[in-house]
């Protein structure tokens, strides 16, 4: 039953075909199976209990929570050894709203340490494997959530997205990943990575399920000053399937195969698949046009992201000293305690990011690196805002193809496909609503397509994705290994 949609499960609960208790049993059984095969979880809550079924569509239904959300009395590690025994005293707002609506948390999912990674290979519990092919990654950082939803453990799981951390794992796992407009979902209780880029979001197997869950979680929160009143937005109601007259654009420099002189057959097939999907979209009365953007701006995306995210992470995580919380050293000198905690507790990837962040924030370096990155970010966002005055949304393929092999060098960026791999970060720079949906297969592995719109235009963005989804046979699909 857990491989069904939220509506289907709710109807089965209301009709008495299944009980909440049976759903919990099924989700827990599948959780252990998926953990054994793919290493998707930090904690499985074997004592999770059934809840009464109400009018709320998520009532009585299990779900997963990425382990960088605080959950009262439940281990919340951020997939880092520095918090391997940390149990919070409060629950994140979005998690609490789902539980208040009757949803049942059954596990905490693994992530790249503190969300700082795009591979799903750096959790302190080990790499998360792709449920379509165990030799491949899920992408990150919301790897465990994507793996679990794609495997049919439950219909939805929480993720977070600072650069593409919901949307790329969704593409690699053949599911839906949605990051709403910045501030629609409260970040209170989400471990901060880069506060100006961090978004809460959701992974599901259909656009409608993403709308249902987000409608429950959204809303202003007195604990998060960046949250805003979205009571006038009704995402599920907006899924009409009518998008006639909408105008979308794609970026020539990213999608033109001639810009990739050493293009692999996989990349050629991926881009060809993308253009075929655009033709499908046009059958709904949509206009899709090619737009050219200065390559200098596009090529700066990845560098801008690294500078800003590392700087903000260095500041946000300065409290991880091993003194306030986390495993404490036996050293007697306070500085030696902190040194040992941070040296032994963080992975090499995290240490590198902190070094970068500290360097660009040094007084003598701020103007050249941090402030310049902020200026270029503004140029990119202004360009997108200009285009959104003419177009309803940007549509692009997600990455350069399907999931990467686990044994590939994950620290080397291919300059030839850098922009294609990193363009989703635009959605974080501007706080734009952005959703990835499945867009077919390449060599039996799923690939995705992404739609990004202007701030506060989430209803239109989701309706466009919903309509496109209806034209393809991938809604609700469950991962199947060869």
Residues labelled catalytic: 66, 141, 165
313: its two tokens = 């992470």
Strand-pairing partners, residue 129, are 137
Residue 120 C-alpha from the chain's centroid: 12
Q: Is the peptide bond before 291 cis (omega within 30 degrees of 0)?
A: no
- Phi, psi values for residue 338, rounded to 5°: -65, -40
Helix axis angle, 265-282 to 458-470, nearest 10° = 100
Positive or negative: CA dihedral 307, 159, 405, 452: negative
- Residues 108/67, Cβ–Cβ less than 8 Å: yes
Q: Which of 247, 248, 245, 267 is nearest to 256 (CA)?
A: 267
Strand-pairing partners, residue 221, are 224
How many beta carbons lie within 10 A of that of residue 223, not counting itself?
A: 12
Instruction: Count Cβ atoms within 10 A of the Cβ of residue 14 and give its class: 0-12 exposed, 13-18 middle, 19 or more buried.
Output: middle
183: its two tokens = 């501030």
Beta strand pairing call for 41-44 and 104-109 = antiparallel
Integer Cα distance of 178 and 165 in angstroms: 10
Strand-pairing partners, residue 442, are 445
How many beta carbons lie within 10 A of that of residue 88, not counting itself?
A: 18
Give the three-state DSSP class for 299: helix
Phi-psi category of 16—alpha, beta or left, where left has phi over 0 and alpha has psi -120 to 50?
left
- Residue 252 belongs to what H/E stretch? helix 252-255
């Amino acid at each position: 039953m857990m491989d069904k949609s939220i509506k289907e499960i709710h109807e089965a609960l209301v009709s008495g075909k299944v009980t909440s208790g049976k759903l919990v049993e099924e989700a827990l059984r599948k959780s252990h199976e998926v953990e054994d095969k793919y290493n998707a979880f930090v904690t499985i809550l074997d004592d999770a209990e059934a809840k009464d079924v109400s009018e709320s569509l998520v009532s009585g239904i299990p779900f997963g929570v990425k382990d960088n959300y605080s959950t009262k009395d439940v281990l919340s590690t951020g997939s880092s050894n520095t918090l391997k025994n940390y149990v919070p005293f409060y629950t994140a707002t979005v998690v609490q709203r789902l539980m208040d609506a009757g949803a049942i948390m059954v596990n905490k999912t693994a992530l790249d340490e503190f969300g700082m990674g795009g591979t799903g290979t750096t959790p302190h519990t080990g790499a998360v494997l792709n449920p379509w092919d165990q030799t491949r990654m899920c992408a990150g950082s919301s790897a465990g959530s994507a793996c679990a939803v794609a495997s049919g453990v439950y219909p939805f799981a929480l993720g977070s997205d600072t650069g593409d951390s919901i949307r790329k794992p969704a593409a690699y796992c053949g599911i839906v990943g949605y990051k709403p407009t910045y501030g629609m979902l409260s970040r209170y209780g989400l471990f901060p990575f880069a506060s100006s880029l961090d978004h809460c979001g959701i992974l599901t197997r259909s656009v409608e399920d993403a709308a249902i869950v987000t409608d429950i979680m959204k809303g202003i929160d007195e604990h998060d000053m960046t949250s805003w009143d979205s009571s006038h937005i009704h995402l599920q109601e907006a899924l009409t399937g009518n998008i006639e007259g909408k105008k979308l654009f794609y970026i020539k420099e990213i999608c033109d195969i001639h810009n990739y002189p050493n293009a692999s057959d996989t990349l050629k097939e991926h881009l060809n698949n993308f253009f075929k999907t655009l033709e499908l979209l046009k059958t709904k009365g949509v206009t899709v046009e090619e737009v050219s953007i200065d390559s200098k701006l596009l090529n700066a995306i990845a560098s801008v992201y690294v500078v800003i995210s590392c700087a903000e992470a260095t500041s946000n995580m300065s409290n991880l000293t091993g003194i306030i919380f986390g495993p404490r050293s036996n050293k007697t000198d306070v500085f030696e305690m902190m040194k040992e905690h941070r040296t032994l507790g963080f992975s090499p990837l995290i240490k590198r990011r902190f070094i970068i962040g500290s360097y660009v924030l040094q007084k003598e370096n701020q103007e050249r690196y941090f402030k310049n990155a902020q200026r270029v970010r503004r140029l990119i966002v202004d360009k997108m805002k200009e285009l959104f005055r003419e177009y309803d949304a940007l549509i692009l393929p997600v990455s350069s193809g399907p999931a990467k092999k686990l044994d590939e060098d994950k620290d080397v960026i291919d300059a030839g496909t850098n922009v294609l791999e990193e363009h989703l970060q635009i959605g974080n720079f501007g706080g734009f609503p952005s959703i990835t949906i499945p867009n077919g297969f390449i060599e039996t592995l799923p690939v995705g397509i992404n739609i990004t719109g202007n701030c506060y235009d989430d209803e239109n963005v989701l309706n466009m994705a919903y309509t496109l989804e209806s034209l393809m046979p991938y809604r609700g699909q469950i991962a199947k290994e060869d």
